[in-house]
Chain A
């Protein structure tokens, strides 16, 4: 049985995707960082994020999932719940 992935490990993946694909600095990316208010993501960015994270984690996001995401913590929790 595969070992449970920790939340901090998932956060690391998310941060890596945001840094690599969206050019954000590491200190901008905290658990409570708001995707729109702080990072100024729009709906295309959200789809981009979903595609990149799916490639990284194999977790598929639905449209409903994306509608409910507000912070990086939400993204981490969603991936954590699906792994």
Chain B
């Protein structure tokens, strides 16, 4: 499929994750948390596979999304080498299982088993330099591998990382985490990227030398009219401008962190400096952000080829199935008639 059809709706990701409400992940996390508490990791795994199989068999849209994604990876030489064959039904199942394992690891970490994991660090000096200097950085991640590993590792090392999330899901996820681990302080900032209040809240943390982490691969509700079509895996996706706009407004460095599962108790954590300082000239702001998003997408593409089954966006990410924009979806936002500067 070519780029033009990928973005046929103008703004892609029409079957938005925020509409789906992370059906599988939230319900699944709650249930697997209960299993983990009752049975431990070893006893929990067969149940997790059963749950995943149920979701896999009943989630046609998710299956199609998985297959479409894997085919995109397979269409690249490196991706084809990583997958080893043309992806089919079982590869999508493997993709779902990888998600389940990520959830179990996440639970293990939340239940206090962080020290049982081995972490192979690559480029950690890219974030350490700012931690040591007491300078807050914006840590950019994706639904690729485990972002949660990063947060817990940071906590263990005494680094404060605040995770920025879309409000509604932040509250639901916080509720689950509070149930799992009431003694753990979860530093989740619920934000509206178009709110000056949110910007001030983030700035406050950066000024204290804390880091602020944000996932940059999905359009949130508040990003509707602030996304840019960006090439990714042979197609075009809408990526949110918010992370780079924030970095530009607040003058902080941007560091990319991707933690990929390498085995039952192992992760490889890759840290790359994306920008020492984001400069966004007012007249060419969108062009400057587009260039940064293109770099970000290239790195995502690289890591998708390294670990094809750890991309956890089980929806029509490229908008392949969409023909028109739907109300309430990313892309239907417009500028209200009331002409005030923060409309």
Name A's B-contacting residues (CB within 8 A): 22-23, 35-37, 41-51, 54, 60-63, 66-70
Find residues 249-269 in chain B having any chain A CB closer than 8 Å to their own CB: 249-250
> Does B86 have its Cβ within 8 Å of any Cβ on chain A?
no
Total A-B pairs in contact (CB under 8 Å)? 63
Cβ proximity bits B306-343 to A, threshold 8 Å, 1 near / 0 not: 00000000000000000000000000000000011111
> Does B195 have its Cβ within 8 Å of any Cβ on chain A?
yes
**Chain A residue nearest in CB terms to B338:** A67
Given contacts A44-B245, A51-B203, contact A66 B341 (CB under 8 A): yes
Given contacts A44-B285, A45-B282, contact A50 B196 (CB under 8 A): yes
A77: shortest Cβ distance to chain B, in Å?
A: 15
Name B's A-contacting residues (CB within 8 A): 194-197, 199-200, 203, 226, 245, 249-250, 282-283, 285, 339-343
Query: In the complex, are the beta carbons of A51 and B342 less than 8 A apart?
Result: no
**Chain B residue nearest in CB terms to A35:** B341
Residue from B245, B283, B341 with most neighbouring chain A CB atoms (10 Å): B341
The secondary structure that dominates the A interface is helix
Give me 17 other A-B pairs in contact (C-beta within 8 A), A23-B283, A45-B341, A67-B342 excluded: A23-B282, A36-B339, A37-B339, A41-B341, A43-B341, A43-B343, A44-B249, A46-B342, A47-B199, A49-B341, A51-B200, A51-B203, A60-B200, A62-B197, A66-B341, A67-B340, A69-B341
B203: shortest Cβ distance to chain A, in Å?
A: 7
